[in-house]
Amino acid sequence: MDGDQVSAPPTILLVSLGRNGGLPKYAAAISEALEATNHRCISLCASGSEHPIAGAWRIPTYRNMLTLVLSSLLVLPLLLLFVATLRLVARVRVVYFPYVHTWTPLLLLWARLLGCRAVVTFHDYRPHFGEAGLMTRLILWAASRLAT
């Protein structure tokens, strides 16, 4: 690399798969803040989000246990393929999760296998009352171990 050249900042993939509440709103604000920097930011958000990210690719996720199973079998593999394509075509080097979603651990593992840095913001590491199920704790634990 030439001494006069400055390397371009990494392309960041922001993944916001929640549909409601404050976390998708937080993700939209983070996306806007990243766009204001010299980083290239590509965003993915849930198709039914109450706070969609402007210009984001929309991903159908789920609303209940039945659609979780169906989406995990039908949509998630396509999402993994899409992330791999973005890694190659758009040269994504960082995958950022502004909060943890059910699919976050698998997407984190996939991002790392693709050679990306994987970053997660933990809103609350300890689940709120009513969210303290075993599955939630396992998802948080896995996400914390897979982030780089």
Per-residue model confidence as pLDDT tens digits over 7-24: 778 899 999 999 888 889
Structure tokens at 60: 């159908």
- The pTM of the whole model exceeds 0.75: yes
Say if CB 97 and CB 120 are below 8 A apart. yes
For residue 87, what pLDDT is reported?
96
Cα gap 67→103, rounded to integer Å: 13
Instruction: pLDDT band for 78, please (50, 70, 90 cuts).
Output: very high
